[in-house]
Amino acid sequence: MSDLENLFDLHSHHFDSKNRAIVQLTELYPKKLPAFFSFGVHPQEIEFDLSRIEETSLKLNETSGFLAIGEIGLDSRFDHFQRQEELYIFQLKLAARLNKPIILHCVNSWDRCRFLHEKYAPENVLIYHGFNKSSITDLVLRYSKSMISIGETVLSNQALRSCVSQIPVDRLFLETDTGRGELIDTYRTVAEIKKLSLHSLIDQLDQNAKRIFNYE
């Protein structure tokens, strides 16, 4: 397998991804499932049925491609914060029950996201996706169950580029999310920042994925 075939995309909304990607499902149960996927209800969603979320998760869990619960979390930009917490807690408990890593959506709510995770799913890895809050890098890394995933904003966000050097490579993932850039460009930029060869970075993140998601 070549380096490019080994690229791992932690979080993508592109069903046609050329990379090995964890694709975020956008339907309760699509007709065709990607090779690898996550399922979770975003904190922006105010209308949700907890029983249907549970039913769908259990059904998806019968397939080998279901790698993570997410993206789930809290977002202070949206109203109905109490409803967000209800949804987040329910899905944390579900992640604990199914023994799935969690892909976290978190905006200005790190302390609360971490507190609830520690209370309801303390053994599950918590992956802070789309990370661009450089000021809390140390806080996130201090939480031993956390990992950080970075997207294409690292190409242009100088503060984020600076904090990448602080993130141990074994606590790191890269992703495309909804972006339109090529994942390899993000890998090349991060390899340069961390003074690693592209091959070394690809190999390490591949090992991270196998370790966290327990697949070959």
Rounded Cα gap, residues 19 and 17, in angstroms: 5
| 105 belongs to an annotated ligand binding site | yes
Between vectors from CA 128 to CA 37 and to CA 26, what angle results, nearest 5°?
30
Rounded Cα gap, residues 70 and 72, in angstroms: 5
- Residue 216: how many other CB atoms lie within 10 Å: 3
70: Cβ–Cβ under 8 A, 6 or more apart, which residues?
A: 11, 24, 38, 39, 40, 102, 103, 104, 105, 127, 129
Q: What is the DSSP code string of 6-29? A: G-EEEEE--TT-SSEEEEEP-SSS
| 13 belongs to an annotated ligand binding site | no
Q: Which amino acid is at 147?
A: M
Nearest to 42 by CA among 24, 55, 30: 24
Helix (H, G, I), strand (E, B) or coil at 205: helix
Going by the annotation, the residues of the binding site are 71, 105, 129, 177
Going by the annotation, the residues of the binding site for a divalent metal cation are 71, 105, 129, 177
